[in-house]
Structure 1
Amino acid sequence: MNVFNSTTWLNVAMIVALGVVLFMGATTYINTIEVERAADFIVDAYSIREATRHVVISANEMETGQRGFLLTGDETFLKPYHDAEARADDEVERLHDLVGDLPDQASRVDALERLLTELEAELKLAIELKSTEDSLDQSLRNERQVMDGIRENVREILSYEEEAITRREDESRARLVNSQRFLLLGNGVAVVLLLTSMMVARSHRLSRDRAEKQLRIDQAELASVIDSARDGIIAINHDLTIRLINPSAAKSMGTSSEEAQGRSFLDWVPPHQRAIVATGMQEFSQRNDAAQAVQGGSCVRSDGTEFPYQGTLAKSSAGGDNFMTLIFRDLSETRAREEKIREQREILNQVRDTIIVCDMQDIITFWSAGAEASYGIPQEDAIGRKFDEVMTIRHAEENDIWKIGRQELLEKGVFTTQIAERNRQGKQVQVEHRRSLIRDEGGAPFAQLIIQFDVTDRVAEEERLRRSQRLQSIGTLAGGIAHDLNNVLTPIMMSARLIKRSKDNVNRLAETIDAAAQRGSQMIQKLLAFAGGQHPERKQVSIRDIIQEAAGILEHTLPKSIEVHVALNDGLSLVSGDATELSQVLMNLAINSRDAMPSGGRLTLAADNIAVRSENMSGDKSLSPGDYVRVTVADTGSGIPPEILDRIFDPFFTTKEQGRGTGLGLATTLGIVRSHGGDIQVVSREGEGTTFQIFLPVAIASPVPAETPSDVEVPLGHGESILVVDDESLMLETAEIILTNSNYHVTTAQNGTDAIELCRAAQQPFDLVVVDMMMPGINGQETAKGIRAVFPKIPVIASSGLWRPENVPREELEMDQFLAKPYTDEQLLRIVRETLDRSKPIS
């Protein structure tokens, strides 16, 4: 029974032991399966973390590549950008596979994918904006926001995986404890050791794979950075052999990376420098310095040409191996550009005209020797400062021109004007100011070129040519003027003799004499102005009046076979200009029309208002859009042949016989019109006549001063003493009578010498001097100066029939008022009273 019981118990024990073994085996198997699942989960978790970090690394690399392109414009930075973009997409796909059974993580990965897609779009947009030179600020701010979103999303993914890893590790440790307890009853130790070995081996393998992969990535990144660098990079062993060379260095040295590796660096050093370079590099390798600058170095390319370089020599190490790294930049192109710029500067400095270059912030970057000579401002005092700041030193007027022309420069790309200024010798000169925009390859303006020419001689020559042409016109008009003057003198002579013989109708005859004299005075004034004796300032003038006056002269001047027809629209606008010059334009064209109609015809003078708009402009579009007065001069003459129509405005071009004209008429006409801001268009057909259309800009409206009524009482004197100086006895007698009858004490002198002696002999100073400016001997200007040497504060009224004050520099004028001859008694008395009242001291 004991045996039975022992056997039974043995069997039972064996069965129990077997059951225990099977239970322990099953339990161990189940625990092993769960442990492996936990291990796989942890591996996946680490893979998710690894893939997530790679997404961030790739995004940073994309941003870095993009930033490199934005900063340098070098498209080689886009290669690592595109590589990182591809890697980021791959890692996102990998994350989708890893989190397929994790809904929470899957939603985060979807959000990460959307943010990455948005980042890629913003990066591409910034690259496109860089290509078009548009603003990048908004795009860069969007990039930063997207990157912040990516980093926040990644933190959530990593936090989730960190918690999952911790949870799974806790579960694995609990199951391992249970396994240990069961294995203590049997073969648990072996199983635990086996499982532990498997886990350790698996963990080690995964870690090694990750390390190898990261090493390959780091090596690829380093190689990409080195290969894409614009600077040359050479790794040199201590024996001066080349162990690594990037493409930029190989290109500069005229070789390839494969050919250069293993050769001595001295092979690319000029022979006469090799000993010095070898000694210097050996000494550097033995010193404690981490790096040293290389200045003034030179290398020899494979074709034997030398090139200068500069850079840095640094100590490096890898895998316990020490070596030197030379980072350098080829200066050959830089030196060539600098030499070219220097040559161009020297060429520009040889030009006597003023040449200045400013950036778009008006900072002067170039100041030529011509500018230094013109303004007396050295280059070192001008370059680097604002243009208006430099110009304010001596030339405030030019500073104003600079501000006025800036808007036109930005709109049209060029601005041209003419200004008057004084040179370093104090002489007044005429300067043509030209300013142009300098654009880069993309068409964006980055600088302003200013060129100024002294055109004083050219302006004087143009004025001389105009005077010459006016004198030709005066010869043509002489017959008409003589006719009109005879008509003026005849009633004067007849009325004067009638007054001598009879006292009847004295008042009516005196009015006739006065009216005829007024008309003669106006004719003389117009003739003098047309001949160039006067230079009136530009002011608002009436085209209607100018055409009517011209028509009146032409009716007496042109042959009776030519009919003069005037057609003027109502409401003609005023123009800003010189009435004399505009009259000359009409006369020039009218004389040409007369020559084109030897057998008679019809001359039409017309004017109307016209609005020129950009959409209806034709031809060369020389007119700017705006409101104009159009003056038409048309004839029914022989017309202009087509082959010479384009040359009619050329100076000295004429089809007339020798002695019949110089060819200055139309050239002068075009110059006058364009100086008024207008232009001329001409239409002509042979045998049908010619039509000239003159476009003159409408003047800006301004208040018209009221005329002084003619019936106002003439002001009388208060016993003041007046000295009248004139070489004409009749002028002296008439002026003395008029002033004496108006309660003035009058003293007369027939020349400047007598006038000065009278002042010296006077016991009291005269109150006023009226002096003729054109006298034999001492002229009026010298006479006034001599009188003021005796009486410094005496007021002076200058008078002349030809001389005008605008022909004399203002600082040289010795006068307070000017009275043009001929003048009336009212005009004389008014200007005398006005001058005396103005010179009274304020009590």
Structure 2
Amino acid sequence: MNRDMHSLQFYQATLDSLTATIAIIDRHGTILFVNRSWRVFAKQNGADPDRVSEGCSYFSVCAASAAEGCDEARSFIEQTDLMLRGKILEFVLEYPCHSPEEQRWFQVRVTRLTEDWDNRIVVAHEDITSIKQAHNELQHREILLHNIVNVSPNLVFVKNSEDRYLIANNALAAMYGVRPEAMIGRDDVELITSRGLPSAEQEKFQQDDRRVFASCEPLFVDEESFTDHSGDLRWFRTVKAPIVIDGEARYLVGIANEITRDREQQQIVRTGQLRLQTILNSIHQEVLLLDTDERVVWANDQACTKAGMSFADYVGRSYDHIYCRDCNDIGTCPVHEVFLSSSMQRQTFVTNTGATLAVSVSPVIGDEQTVLGAVVVAEDISERLSLEHQLRQAQKLESLGTLAGGIAHDFNNILTAILGFTELCLDRATADPAMKEDLEEVYQASLRARELVHQILTFSRRTEQETKPLDIALIIKEAVKLLRSTLPSTIEIKSRIARDVGMVLADPTRIHQIMMNLCTNAAHAMRESGGILSLSLDTCVAGENGRTEQQLSSGRRYVRLEVGDTGCGMESDLLPLIFDPYFTTKQQGEGTGLGLAVVHGVVRDYGGAIDVASVPGRGSTFTVYLPRAVDEQHEFEDGHIKGELYGRGEYLLVVDDEPGLTRLAKKSLEAAGYQVYTENDSIQALTLIREKGQQIDLLITDMTMPGLTGERLALETSRLFPALPIILVSGNTARLPESLADHPAIEVVPKPVDRKQIMTVIRNLLTRSHRS
């Protein structure tokens, strides 16, 4: 009897100690028991005690609420019926209980007592208003108390003095992988060892339990491990308190709050700090964290390296002591300004060593919008400023190239007229040798002007680079003539150019560019004391005499060009750098550092190689190797047109908006045996084509014309007469437009055009057209 009384008191004390409002009812809905929280809840919410206390029908109260439209009450009745019929063991409902002053939410958990023939059920109500309101901001925390006993996510349990479980909630049972009822009457030894879990944990739990029973005082364990049935190590913060009856600790109530996530978050924070430090230590900028006294709290590796001290020595030092002593004139200190204005500050200054530093200082703002410190990022931008200057110089060169390209385009039209009419005059000057000699000089000067225009267009990137078999000895000789007239008398030129060195597959403009760049550098090396500029051109075979030049194909024949000087020479450590873009040994403003880089690129494009030898104080020698090519047969001999290039009475239509060029074309082509129509208006030319297209054998048209461009005129002509050969004459490109790529007989001829060149293209197109 006494034991039953104690058991009743135990259950009464246990249930009365819970914050949940708990009632036990029978299968008919009669309330058999309510705890203290239930009575307080009923009183606070204005419920009639006679309707919700022992002996009253709880189902009647719910039915009345359901009749008033309460969905939760209706759901309660339906699920209770399922529970009493054995369909479910428990259910949980949430319901509002609002008042004009506040909104409140409650949760009711209804559990059927197991192994109870009377089918009694437990109704537990709990106020979850605070949980509802704080749910979003408290997701990172474990819910300390969601429900008591089975409702709580914490581990809630009650043990007797024999350390056996009397009550164990679902969360605790889940740790062992059993149902709550399977834990009743068993101790930790049985539960832990039967599942192969660490025995050290069981011994720690029992030791703490004995301590609580012996002292009758609560025990708080800030952190302890608990391995669950899956073998996962989890961490909890535990409180164990005795239930004292008659001065003796008869029972122990324990609640354990899981802190695994907190530990993981702490580990994440530590890992994040380590990652951030790693990132900051890997960048080339100096990064400092300062406190409000402007002293270093943290510094990255770059800052420590620049300061020449360890991290430990760096921390605690004043920012003024570190940076301001190196400044020539920093003006207002950006760190001081950050603490005064609470805004980011940027400043650039030059140090005593000549380096340019860009300093950015950002405030660290706290929750109350106060400045807690500052982050300083300092970067040496000297190299970047130098590169920006070089970029501006390159952009200037590009602008000059664009301007030069526009001038060269217009100049091509003038040169075409000069070349053409000079050729006509040469044909009529056979009886006057003196005049013919003068006209030959004009003609040669015009050819040199044409090459000059071609170089300008190449520089402005408005013409395509074409390679062809080329006797570079002629270009070298022309360059030597030019150099003799431009270099000072203190520099002597010695040239040794072998005969019949063979042909090189190259572009004459780029060969001239190689020659002039190398000779200009050689002359610059001798500008102060003078000297000898030596040039030689011959052939060699890679690998002969046991020598194989780097990057050359062994056994292949090469044309070898050597340019030497007796100037200042270069140190050996500079030789690997001289072909890098923007590298120069000249003073500022004397060079761009692009000359040798351009030479190297051209030689490499042609499949050759370049070598350099230099001795300080004695001079330098650059050796260029270019693969030798097979000579081509030419359509012209001794400057005269071959007989098969003359016309046979074919009709040609020449279209150009420059009247002087159409007159020239008419004279030249008619003298060569062609019949010529001319037109200065492209629209009128199209009309003529429509009228006499069957009679016209070939169309020659300028690309750039007002109204209807040469490309459009060619397109319209090809639609009317698809097989009609067409020559497009262009002042800025030798590329065939994509719109005419499928035309069977079309060529693009760059201006200025000489008579031999146009005759060859005309005859080839007409021959191809007749064969088709």
Could you say which structure has the higher strand fraction? Answer: 2
TM-score normalised to the size of structure 2?
Answer: 0.41
TM-score by length of 1: 0.38
Instruction: Answer 1 or 2: higher relative contact order, Cα 8 Å, separation at least 6.
Output: 2
Query: Greater helix percent: which structure?
Result: 1
